[in-house]
Amino acid sequence: MNTTAAPRIAIIGAGPGGLTCARILQRHGIAAAVYDRETGPDARNQGGTLDLHADNGQIALREAGLLEEFFRLARPEGQEMRQLDPAGAILFHHVPEDGERFKPEIDRGQLRDLLLDSLQPGTVRWGHALRAISGPEEGPRRLHFADGSTVEADLVVGADGAWSKVRRVLSPAVPEYSGVSFLEAWFHRVEDQHPEIAELVGQGGAAAADGDRGLFAQRNSGDHIRAYLIQRVPVDWITAAGLTPQDTGGIRALLLERYRDWSPRLRRLITDNDGPYVDRPIFALPVPHTWEHNPTVTLLGDAAHLMPPLGVGVNLAMLDACELALGLARHDTVDDAVHAYEQTMLPRSTEMARLLDGAAEHLLSTRLPDSAADGTH
């Protein structure tokens, strides 16, 4: 970037997208600060596993200089996928070939640590929950944080996920409930404590559905498995049943009734989990989601194009981050860089969002997908 004064770039959100953007900017000699509401990198569990695809997520990691480190951490065996019927019979079984690296799995926490460790010390400012953005459209912008502090920036990048505060500057859109909800269950020390479930899931994932209910279980690193019970339900289905999210026994009894016709083998994913369930209703942004160009604010990842969890979210976020960072490195002004980035990102995300619009329902379908090896994560 050929400017008389280096632009002040503020990235909101220390997820994979925000961290990837900061890392690639730093590799090109451009400073950026990342602000995150969490108190630190270990403030909460980062979630399950995800696959990074050769045609998007891995492209970003290559530009970040981290692809080989990623392959050392990733689990290519996690590309295994089994499609079952509710009776537990295998309908489809994909076993990755030796050397197959199109979309190996990595735990979210491992990916985040890889990115965090690659950044210059002090890049991420923890404990900074964004409350508002003020200042003229042409900049500079002023960021107002919950602790009362403020920061000026020449570019604000919203990498702050589904409920983005940065999005409000550009768009009135808010995520809408898809009508489908996940209930997450955890299994620890599976080879020793849950051998039947470990055998059922294999090294990758196993999915089943009957048209109204679905189930997806996936191997994580460290001898863990996460399962997702998928239902077409109101967003408040737990409280509507007179239960609370902490009422593990009550929720389990309700689920056993709803999945009563499923095989005992699959019902172990309801009865044998370690600890409480985690309610994860599926939201998505309206399609298409676009905005008028703004020279000092832009979005990437879920903040820009929240979609159902069908294997594209983190990959698109990291590709967005890569293209924005490279644009800032290659253009003379921030405005030119943001404009070029959005000209590519918005059509791509709109096309993908149209493909996945309402696709949360597909997770309940009994029809085998065109590629049954595609996961639901």
Residue 268 and residue 298: Cα distance in Å, rounded?
45
Residues 218, 139 share a domain = no
Average model confidence (pLDDT) across the chain: 91
- Identify the pLDDT of residue 3: 47
8 Å CB contact between 105 and 74: yes
Residues 295, 159 share a domain = yes
Tell me if 108 is assigned to a ligand binding site: yes
Residue 33 and residue 204: Cα distance in Å, rounded?
36
Backbone angles phi, psi at 151, to 5 degrees: -140, 140
Residues 265, 309 share a domain = no
- Identify the pLDDT of residue 176: 95
CATH number of the domain that 269 lies in? 3.30.9.30
- Identify the pLDDT of residue 368: 59
Q: What is the average pLDDT across 150-176?
A: 97
Residues 203, 295 share a domain = no
Q: Which residue has the tokens 């960021």?
A: 143
Backbone angles phi, psi at 175, to 5 degrees: -60, 145
pLDDT band at residue 310 using 50, 70 and 90 as cut-offs = confident
161: left (phi over 0), alpha (psi -120 to 50) or beta: left
Residues 104, 41 share a domain = yes
The least confident of 21-30, 39-48, 103-112, 175-184 is 39-48
Backbone angles phi, psi at 257, to 5 degrees: -70, -45
- Report which listed range, 35-39, 44-48, 357-361, is most confident: 35-39
Residues 301, 185 share a domain = no
Residues 184, 116 share a domain = no
8 Å CB contact between 32 and 180: no
34 is a domain residue:
yes
Q: What is the pTM of this model?
A: 0.91
- Domains: count for the chain: 2
Residues 306, 186 share a domain = no
- Identify the pLDDT of residue 4: 52
29 is a domain residue:
yes
Share above pLDDT 70 across residues of the chain, in percent, rounded to a whole number: 95
Last residue of a domain, one of 268, 283, 298: 283
90 is a domain residue:
no
CATH number of the domain that 160 lies in? 3.50.50.60
Tell me if 44 is assigned to a ligand binding site: yes
Residues 296, 352 share a domain = yes
pLDDT tens, residue by residue, 195-248: 999 999 999 999 999 989 999 999 998 899 999 999 999 999 999 999 999 999
Last residue of a domain, one of 256, 283, 310: 283
- Identify the pLDDT of residue 46: 63
Residues 182, 41 share a domain = no
Residue 45 has pLDDT above 70, yes or no: no
pLDDT tens, residue by residue, 86-138: 999 998 898 888 877 778 889 899 999 999 999 999 999 999 999 999 999 99
Residues 134, 68 share a domain = yes
What residues make up the domain containing 190? Answer: 178-283
Tell me if 51 is assigned to a ligand binding site: yes
* Token pair in block for residue 126: 């923890």
Last residue of a domain, one of 240, 260, 283: 283
Tell me if 320 is assigned to a ligand binding site: no
Residue 66 has pLDDT above 90, yes or no: yes
Residues 126, 32 share a domain = yes
* Token pair in block for residue 376: 């639901």
Angstrom CA distances, 330 to 27, 175, 324, 325, 347, stand at 13, 33, 10, 9, 21
73 is a domain residue:
yes
